[in-house]
Amino acid sequence: MRRGLLILGRLALAVVFLWAAYAKLRNPWMIFAMEIDAMHIVPDRVVEFLARTTPWCELLLGVLLAVGIKMRYVASIATAVLAIFFMTLLVLYLRGFQGDCGCFGPGEQLGPKTLARDGALLALSIWVTWQAFRRSGRAPVDTI
């Protein structure tokens, strides 16, 4: 039962990362760059780098989560990435930022719904990571 839930959780995270990557990659990178730039959280020279690389990192994470190998590392990285996203959005929200969150392409204004969804995803990722560490203690290979 728990193993089934774990696979479901891992696949749910994989779908979220793959969808986030697809939603960004189907548009020119400048769209995401403008969303990041509007947040005023990173220096100008970093904006383009982030806009060009983040979607590909999300794609890679999505694929690795779907495949399910080296889960301790992959789930830890996914949790770290989601934690960074969540904390950034939380700080922006508290500062009164009203622009796009940039999560799944253009058009989603940052609000309580965004934070609730990202918070739930972070909680799921933490649980998957914790289970990956627990199970890898017993299993001969690092998979779930």
Reported residue count of the chain is 144
Q: How far is the CB of 82 from other proteins (least distance, A)?
A: 24
Q: How far is the CB of 31 from other proteins (least distance, A)?
A: 6
Inter-axis angle of helices 71-94 and 2-25, nearest 10: 60
Beta carbon nearer to other proteins, 30 or 139: 30
136: Cβ contacts below 8 Å, ≥ 6 apart:
71, 72, 142
Beta carbon nearer to other proteins, 16 or 110: 110
Q: How far is the CB of 59 from other proteins (least distance, A)?
A: 21
Beta carbon nearer to other proteins, 106 or 119: 106
Beta carbon nearer to other proteins, 45 or 138: 45
Residues binding other proteins (CB under 8 A): 27-28, 30-31, 33-34, 37-38, 98-100, 106-107, 109
SS3 content of the chain, % helix, strand, coil (to 5): 75, 5, 20
10 burial level (CB within 10 Å; 0-12, 13-18, 19+): buried
